[in-house]
Structure 1
Amino acid sequence: MEENKISIGLDIGTTKIVAMIGKRNEYEKVQILGVGKSKSLGVHRGVVNNITQTIQSIQQAVNEAELSADCKIESVTVGIAGQHIRSLQHSDYITRTNSELVIDEDDIDRLINQVHKLVMLPGEEIIHVLPQEFKVDGQAEIKEPVGMYGGRLEANFHVVVGQVSSIRNIGRCIKSAGLDLEGITLEPLASANAVLSFEEKEAGVALIDIGGGTTDLAVFKDGIIRHTAVIPFGGNVITDDIKEG
């Protein structure tokens, strides 16, 4: 997020939809300008199952956030969850044409883009490709290869995958609500970036976010994302069990 650039996050949950408007200040902290929320009527366990109701809930949350922040929202970044989400580990490499030049960001991007071209199961697409550790000419456990010399650049990746139909349904809801979709991010990662410190991620930590319809998990060690999961079990199930008990 650039300084003074307004950014909007949208959390489409099972029990409520929340829109938050913020900007980064001169101290590199995110200043919250406005928050809006509405009851989520068209989502079950993190997945849209009623387009019309979800659109209405999004519009209500966004309108409330706009009034709170006294500004107009045009685009949003949306958190995604749901039982259709899965993650996998993948290793890949590229061979650089000129090993006399140091590795730069373009080399990293080329390797990441190569992983994005992996063929998933029918009806699935890649949401995130997250580098974990790199190897340069066989030298392992490199966190940051930029600036190093080497001909072969390898990496281990944490790849997050979701159902194409579920992702498109979210996009349709956003567009029909009169907004542009700026990006999609996995909700456990968004939660981790919001509440976990650098020191916690280095030491090793598991973040568990129990929502109404799903439970999100993100595991970090040595500052690296090691595992993510979205479990189709949330607070609503616990509440129903208590009622029946």
Structure 2
Amino acid sequence: MEKVSISHDKSSPIVVGLDIGTTKICAIVGRRSKDNTVEILGIGKAESAGVTRGVVSNIDKTVQGITQAIEIAASQSNVEIRVVNVGIAGQHIKSLQHRGLITRRDLNREINRKDIEKLIEDMYNLVMPPGEEIIHVLPQEFTVDNEPGIKDPIGMAGVRLEANFHIISGQVTAVKNIVKCVTKANLESHDLILEPLASSEAVLTDEEKEAGVVLVDVGGGTTDLAIFHEGIIRHTAVIPFGGNSVTEDIREGCSVMRNIAEMLKTRFGSALAEENKDNEIVCVPGLRGRESKEISVKNLAYVIQARMEEIIEHVYYEIKTSGYEKKMIGGIV
């Protein structure tokens, strides 16, 4: 059977997503259908050994992981993968609010897409702190001739067009290293997408975004957060703690090897210590024939609970600082 080749053409029905995570690298191939849904054709996963807290720390190991994941996904889907949409996260990600405006000269012409693109383009030209670049500019709501709260001004008449924007920025070096890894794996990066935004597109409904909802994605190296209200992205954050932080706590707290700590977390771990019995014990083998070690399941849970409480406190802090704490009808997903 002949392999299908894909290009960066937006009309191409086949799209590829590449998630370069701290614990694993995942490639997914999907086909866009006419009713705007995506049929999954293939998934490839590989261990991620060159990424720390969402940021590339070893180019060669990351390239190796990308290549493995892409090969598996290409084999499953029978698609020759050349172009990918890459997710970006990491503790270097920042977000800010900004307001822009343009004064239109042609009064006989309705507001069109070009006017909005001009506003967005102006935001990309904002002066950022040294070493940072803008990744996304997301319009929130528009004001036309001092009439606020307009979600879509296209087709309206007006002279003064203003907009509130949610701007997401990241470190230039971190972004370049991701692109470099993708290029070294003989792929072309079509787009960089902030991972909490990509996750929200996958798991949140329009109704939830309208009601007000917090998306929390606890990954290996980071915890990603996105807040939506009235269908608009209001706040994003990347918290530099995740599942790997829990594993490290177990490794230090129980004095075991990292692979044993990961096994204890996944097989016997709990975030609520009170739900475990005092007499539950796990016996782990000693190193190279040394005496085995007994670990209390309740103590293990206390270690996990402490870190998970810290992560949730960070999440709550971000929700409070966003100003939307009392408006989240949809709660946390």
Give the TM interval when normalised to the shorter protein: over 0.9
Q: Show the 5 A alignment for 1:208-219.
A: 208-219=216-227
Larger Rg: 2
Q: Give the aligned partner of residue 203 of structure 1.
A: 211
Shift of 1:105: 0.3
Q: Show the 5 A alignment for 1:47-58.
A: 47-58=55-66
Q: Give the aligned partner of residue 150 of structure 2.
A: 142
Shift of 1:100: 2.0
SS in 1 for 2:80: coil
Given the alignment of the two structures, is residue 131 of structure 1 paired with residue 139 of structure 2, yes or no?
yes
Conserved? CA contact 1:158–1:226, under 8 Å: yes
Paired with 1:242 and 1:43, the residues of 2 have a C-alpha distance of 21
Conserved? CA contact 1:92–1:154, under 8 Å: yes
SS in 2 for 1:11: strand
- Identity across the alignment (%): 57
Shift of 1:239: 2.4
Gaps of 5+ in 1: none
Paired with 1:188 and 1:71, the residues of 2 have a C-alpha distance of 27
Paired with 1:55 and 1:46, the residues of 2 have a C-alpha distance of 15
Conserved? CA contact 2:13–2:33, under 8 Å: no
Shift of 1:71: 1.1
SS in 2 for 1:212: coil
Q: In the alignment, which of 29, 35, 45 is matched to residue 53 of structure 2?
A: 45
Paired with 2:101 and 2:35, the residues of 1 have a C-alpha distance of 38
Conserved? CA contact 2:142–2:148, under 8 Å: yes
The C-alpha deviation readout for 1:39-64, integer Å capped at 9, x for no partner, is: 00100000000000000000000000
Q: Show the 5 A alignment for 1:1-245.
A: 5-243=13-251, 244=253, 245=303
Deviant stretches of 4+, over 3 Å: 1-4
SS in 1 for 2:79: coil
1:16 corresponds to which letter in structure 2? K
SS in 1 for 2:65: helix
Paired with 2:196 and 2:243, the residues of 1 have a C-alpha distance of 16
Paired with 1:72 and 1:62, the residues of 2 have a C-alpha distance of 9
Shift of 1:4: 5.8
1:37 corresponds to which letter in structure 2? K
2:212 corresponds to which letter in structure 1? G
Conserved? CA contact 1:4–1:25, under 8 Å: no
1:156 corresponds to which letter in structure 2? N
1:42 corresponds to which letter in structure 2? G
Paired with 2:154 and 2:248, the residues of 1 have a C-alpha distance of 52
Paired with 1:242 and 1:87, the residues of 2 have a C-alpha distance of 32
Give the direction of change, closer, same or farther, for the CA distance of 1:105–1:197 in structure 2 (3 Å limit).
same
Conserved? CA contact 1:3–1:24, under 8 Å: no
More strand by share: 1
Gaps of 5+ in 2: 1-8, 254-302, 304-333
Q: Which has the higher contact order (CA 8 A, sep 6+)?
A: 1
Paired with 2:12 and 2:112, the residues of 1 have a C-alpha distance of 28
